Amino acid sequence: MQSLLMKRVCYTVAFTTLLLLFGNLMGYSQTVSVSIPALHLTEKERITGFEIHLTSGMIMSLPKVPYGWSISLDNDPSWNTTISGSIVVGAAAVDLDFFHDFLVVEVEDNSSGHLPFELNGEIFINEDLADKRRIKLVNKDFSVKVVVDKKSAVQKKR
């Protein structure tokens, strides 16, 4: 009877230790909101598509899904994520407001040698649905603000 009780205590301690270790590993990520603040469009141009690539990030949500768009998301387990979208009908083209806080992303902790969080991609723009141009985006074209900092939340609890 004592042997069984001792085994249960040992399993409980081991399980709790694993949970604490796993919690600490997972506790240092951030959730961020992503915007593209400075796209330059003419008065007649509208956005008809996009493709965004993330390194060391996973998309948690797309808060505003435009009506009449097809969206594809690949949250690869390697933390290399791609999201793309395009209009289904011409009337569904959007303006710059769509890209304000348009993604919510969990950023992978890079303290253990992972690649730093980066964003890049393209925006597809049309004036009359015949003349298409592309705007290449690099990391500096994105604005990122912290929504949840799990490291701070863990530290505040202590």
pTM of the model: 0.74
Rounded Cα gap, residues 151 and 156, in angstroms? 9
Q: What is the pLDDT of residues 51-88, one digit of tens each?
A: 999 999 999 999 999 999 999 999 999 899 999 999 99
Tokens describing residue 141: 């074209």
The CATH number, out of the four listed (2.60.40, 3.40.1350, 3.30.70, 1.20.120), of the domain defined by the range 29-157: 2.60.40
Q: How far is CA 65 from CA 30, 85, 101, in A?
A: 23, 9, 12
The domain locations on the chain are 29-157
Non-local (6+) Cβ contacts of 131 within 8 A are none
Q: Are 101 and 68 in contact (CB under 8 A)?
A: no
Q: Give the residue from 61, 12, 7, 8 showing the smallest Cα distance to 32.
A: 61
